[in-house]
Structure 1
Amino acid sequence: MEYKIIVDSCGELTEEMKKSGVYETASLSMQVGGANIVDDESFNQADFLRRVAQSPECPKSSCPSPERYMLSYKGEAKRVYAVTLSSELSGSYNSAELGKKLYMEGNEEKQIHVFNSRSASVGETLIALKIRECEEEGMRFEEVVQTVENYIEGQHTYFVLENLETLRKNGRLTGIKAMVASALNIKPVMGATPQGTICQLGQARGIKRALTKMVEQIAKECIDSKKKILGIAHCNCPERAEEVKQMLLEKLEVKASFIVDTAGISTMYANDGGIIVVI
């Protein structure tokens, strides 16, 4: 291949992406209940959710090392693109950038760019798909970088989770001063800011109403939907994801849409029943 795309494992790859030979995953790892779990093809979501439910401690994650990214930059590909979860949520972006700096010291002829997704999960998936689309159109490296950076600027991330405890305990809700009592069954509708931090967009009583509110928010904010791909990730709730997809397609006409199950890192933060939507 003339190029390849590295996606850290917070971004889910579709089956077609896995088979294409274009994509490579840089795995993060998770620690829960004394076990270290690598977020790769061996990840067992059901087992992980069981471990989280049984552990009194909050699960934690570790990003790929600069050396791990350096290994990914090697090979025959002349152009390499890396996509990481938001630099505001993880050290993966900084690790990829440091790995690039170290690798380029003796390999100046190779072109490498690291994209800060300012999102996570299926947001990274969509960015990786956009990179491939640009490459297949024959764009020069610089054009690909600029086009994809512009795409990231216009991307929007939304999610509704059954609970926010993992995000809260791991300090990912900085700036959100108060979360309503779970006893009232209030579910916040969350999103990502342009900088890649997490913000609260609204709330509703019960998961169904929160999902409806999220769909309404997406339909209200989405511009030029016919040119966009709708991506939905779910954590162990395929029927819920399909319902959200159908609600959105009743309100928006999109270029394409797909649903993926969350991989390890996204599962850790989304928790059982979480839904993530990016468009």
Structure 2
Amino acid sequence: MSFNIVCDSCTDLTKEDFEKGCYTWIPLTLLIGDEEIVDDDTFDQHSFLEKVANSKGACKSACPAPEAYMEAYKKADDIYVVTLSAELSGSYNSAELGKKLYEEELGEKNIHVFNSRGASSTQLLIARKIYEYASQGMSFEQVVEKVEDYIRGQRTFFVLETLDVLQRNGRLSKVNAVLATALNIKPVMEGTKEGIIQKLAQARGTKKALAKMAECIVKEGQDLTERILAIAHCNCYERAVYLKKLLEDKLEVKEIIIVDTKGVSSLYACDGGVVVAY
């Protein structure tokens, strides 16, 4: 049985992932003022961040059409789908609707849509976990069960230079909108198990906030000796390396990887943002 992993474009896959030949990329559309930018392989992060910084209009994203998912579902016998948290984006619902459209037109097949309950590096780890299990020859049902269990144990944390884009797009329903920006206070945010975003801690300055985030991860007390931890960064590789060293000094982790944010993650993380998942 062949398999394909369909990912919306907030899944920060790498070149090495795509070279495996089993991933299909479903782009969201990025809206900067009146300009529409498709989050595909033509995405230019540097140019995009400049446009966001200079924009006086809205900066937001639009989820893919169900038909885009439906077309991707034709690629293999077993289809696994990874989307942004259903609580943060319409991408999950679009993927589910694409499944219904496919089944109405072409009949039932093995299609499962995973609600990541996160974004960015969270989705990357889910996609790689699907690949790990499916490439071992596990049945469709086994892969779905094991990956859903993996998702229930995932954690996501992030520190951003600014929460402006998230706030303007209604993604921070449980966060106090009044932040002490004049005092350079940087909140440490977490993605909850329900897939929403909330403030966990704070520190003055980004470097101290990254250290505070590392402390929060250590305090979680999870056994990470068999887990991979992924750090996604938006145009701030040095910060990602700094955080990686902090974590390596305090934790026993199977592996820590660093990846670049793609378009959607770059929009919401903003220039200088760091997202950690495991």
Q: Distance in 1 between matches of 2:83 and 2:182?
A: 35
| Matching residue of 1:218 | 217
Aligned residue type for 1:53: A
The alignment partner of 2:165 has SS state of helix
Q: Give, in angstroms, the shift of residue 222 of structure 1.
A: 4.3
**Retained in 2: the 8 A contact 1:45–1:264?**
yes
| Matching residue of 2:269 | 270
Q: Distance in 2 between matches of 1:110 and 1:216?
A: 45
Q: Distance in 1 between matches of 2:259 and 2:108?
A: 36
State which drifts further: 28-37 or 188-197: 28-37
- 1:52-63 to 2 correspondences below 5 Å: 52-63=52-63
Matched, 1:97 2:96: yes
**Retained in 1: the 8 A contact 2:225–2:252?**
yes
Q: Distance in 1 between matches of 2:48 and 2:27?
A: 16
Q: Give, in angstroms, the shift of residue 106 of structure 1.
A: 3.7
TM-score scaled to structure 1, two decimals?
0.97
Q: What's the RMSD between the two structures over aligned residues?
A: 1.1
Q: Give, in angstroms, the shift of residue 58 of structure 1.
A: 2.9
| Matching residue of 1:2 | 2
Superposed CA deviations along residues 96-120 of structure 1, whole A, max 9, x for unmatched, are 0000011012433520000000000
Superposed CA deviations along residues 206-261 of structure 1, whole A, max 9, x for unmatched, are 11110000001011114120110010100000111011111111111222221111
Matched, 1:170 2:169: yes
The alignment partner of 1:21 has SS state of coil
Aligned residue type for 2:206: I
**Retained in 1: the 8 A contact 2:167–2:177?**
no
The alignment partner of 1:225 has SS state of coil
**Retained in 2: the 8 A contact 1:33–1:51?**
no
The alignment partner of 1:105 has SS state of helix
Q: Distance in 2 between matches of 1:278 and 1:247?
A: 15
Aligned residue type for 1:44: D
The runs of at least 4 aligned residues of structure 1 exceeding 6 Å deviation read none
Q: Distance in 2 between matches of 1:139 and 1:105?
A: 27
The alignment partner of 1:177 has SS state of coil
Matched, 1:207 2:206: yes
| Matching residue of 2:32 | 32
Q: Distance in 1 between matches of 2:217 and 2:203?
A: 15
Aligned residue type for 1:22: C
Q: Distance in 2 between matches of 1:166 and 1:106?
A: 39
The alignment partner of 1:128 has SS state of helix
Superposed CA deviations along residues 55-110 of structure 1, whole A, max 9, x for unmatched, are 112311100010010011013x1100000000011000000000001101243352
Q: Distance in 2 between matches of 1:177 and 1:240?
A: 26
The alignment partner of 1:103 has SS state of helix
Q: Distance in 2 between matches of 1:161 and 1:110?
A: 41
Q: Distance in 1 between matches of 2:138 and 2:219?
A: 33
Q: Distance in 2 between matches of 1:120 and 1:21?
A: 22
| Matching residue of 1:120 | 119
TM-score scaled to structure 2, two decimals?
0.97
| Matching residue of 1:183 | 182
Matched, 1:44 2:44: yes
Could you list the runs of 5+ residues in structure 1 that have no partner in the other structure? Answer: none
How many residues end up aligned between the 2 structures? 278
Q: Residues 21, 50 of structure 1: CA spacing in aligned structure 2 closer, same or farther, 3 A cutoff?
A: same
**Retained in 2: the 8 A contact 1:52–1:58?**
no
The alignment partner of 2:24 has SS state of strand
| Matching residue of 1:143 | 142
Q: Distance in 2 between matches of 1:156 and 1:117?
A: 11
- Give the % identical residues: 55
Superposed CA deviations along residues 109-145 of structure 1, whole A, max 9, x for unmatched, are 5200000000000100000000011112222111111
**Retained in 2: the 8 A contact 1:235–1:274?**
yes
Q: Residues 59, 204 of structure 1: CA spacing in aligned structure 2 closer, same or farther, 3 A cutoff?
A: same
